[in-house]
Chains A and B, each alone.
Chain A
Amino acid sequence: MNAASRYNRQIILPEIGDAGQYKLVKAKVLIIGAGGLGVAILPYLAAAGIGQIGIIDDDVIEVSNLQRQVIYKTSAVGKYKVDEAKAMIAELNPLVKVNAIAEKLSGNNAISLFEKYDIIVDATDNLQIKYLINDACQVTNKPMVYGSIFRFQGQVSVFNYQNGPTYRCLYPDENSSSANCTDAGVIGISVGIIGMLQANEVIKMILGIGEVLSGKILVYNGLNNEQQKYDFEKNTTFLLDKKAFEEKYSIIENTIEEISIGAILNEIDNQETLFLDVRNEEELPKINLKNSIQIPLMNLENEIERLNPNQTIYIFCQSGIRSKMAGELLQKKNFKNVKSISGGALALSQILKNKVAD
């Protein structure tokens, strides 16, 4: 089973040839998402002989996935998608190296992961992560092959290709919302068609043939077979370097550090630091320290000016849940050093009683 005969039908294409096949074998492509789009793209790229394919997704297969995620078997329900996908490709084309990554893409792993690949394929199903992928592609200078679905319609584009326009040039509003397949409904054929168009862009970029969908968004409607391309331009109002990326994503995704009251006994009544009580005023026990203030969680955002973002702040509530939420809110507002006291006010009052007894 040699490679020349396996790939013969595409090697005889004048646009590919031995040189083109060599490019495919040397290429490294990362597919983000092993859902409807991802599993449409993956087998075709693997069959064509892309040398290395990474696929990242932390989901397990559910029975409701099977009507559109057609590489998965009914018997595999409950297993990790990426493990099943890797096993499927091993049988389809053992010459391809598949890196199955059963993780969620985040600000913490995106940059190091993207650096290992040439092309990043967005096969995800929510808007927030598309901004993350876009920004990480910009930082690592990789093209992003975008595809997404709304019911019978789909969009395809290639962002950040040879310094071309990005997702943010097309959709600057990061806080917008759009229904995914779970909420809006979808038929497998729609994701198949859009996935194929994405795979086609990947192959074209690797081979350097045809016209890449850079600076253009293709919109396809499966109900009437209408297909349109819209041009858009690069605007440079949002450019990220690595440092800005890390600030934007890593800090937000950092979970709030929990600290036990025993570890910060010396901080009680220390005016350098602050204890922030985010409970409502009527909640007991009352905690009054020389360095404590009370701002109920629901008022925190409005009264944030009362706090100093550079001060060390120990947050507590009754049990430790609201204090974590408050901590996350403060971190998003660029507070540098916030910690949540585990056990909350009850643990704190116990310590204070013991302190008096001493």
Chain B
Amino acid sequence: MIEIKYFGAVAEKTKCAFEKVASSEVSLQELLQNLEEKYQFESLSFSVAVNQKIVSKTGNYTLQTSDVVALLPPFAGG
């Protein structure tokens, strides 16, 4: 299982703070595409971390079981 954490406005869209998805040789790019289709993030921009490290969204990293992915949008309040 891969755990995905959501923050800020992204979590408002997903209506959950985290979820787990079955992992079968899925690349980060594919995972993000699947999430986009499922949640329609559209204009929401966010950075992506794998195991607490911000990574390129377009890299072809293959996710491993027990990886933790986080979607981090910028916040603007103050």
Contacts and interface: CB of A to CB of B under 8 A. Distances in A.
Interface of A: 33, 35-38, 122-127, 130, 147-151, 153-155, 170-171, 173, 176-181, 184, 186, 191, 217, 219, 221, 224, 228-233
Interface in B34-77: 43-45, 47, 49, 52-54, 70, 72-77
A232 B53 contact: yes
B54 A33 contact: no
A228 B47 CA distance: 15
Given A171-B47, A230-B54, A178 B78 contact: no
A180 B8 CA distance: 11
B56 to A, nearest CB: 9
Interface of B: 7-9, 17, 43-45, 47, 49, 52-54, 70, 72-78
A151 to B, nearest CB: 8
A350 to B, nearest CB: 46
Contact of A179 (B9, B70, B72): B9
A173 B72 contact: no
B76 A127 contact: yes
B72 A148 contact: no
A184 B52 contact: no
> Chain A binding site: helix, strand, loop or mixed by DSSP?
mixed
Contacts of A126: 76
A154 B8 CA distance: 9
A37 B75 CA distance: 13
Contacts of B74: 127, 130, 148, 155, 170-171, 176, 178
Contacts of A181: 77-78
B75 A150 contact: yes
A127 B9 CA distance: 14
Given A153-B8, A178-B8, A217-B72, A186 B77 contact: yes
A-B complex: 5 closest residue pairs judged by Cβ atoms: A176-B45, A149-B77, A232-B54, A148-B75, A125-B78
Majority secondary structure, B binding face: loop
Q: Which of B45, B53, B70, B77 has the most CB of A within 10 A?
A: B77
A47 B77 CA distance: 25
Contacts of A184: 77
Contacts of B45: 171, 173, 176-177
Contacts of B8: 150-151, 153, 178
A124 B54 contact: no
Contacts of B72: 155, 217, 219, 230
Nearest to A147: B78
A107 B78 CA distance: 21
Given A219-B72, A231-B54, A232-B54, A150 B78 contact: no
A121 B74 CA distance: 17
B75 A153 contact: yes
A58 B69 CA distance: 40
A59 to B, nearest CB: 12
B7 A219 contact: yes
A149 B9 contact: no
B78 A180 contact: yes
A172 B43 CA distance: 14
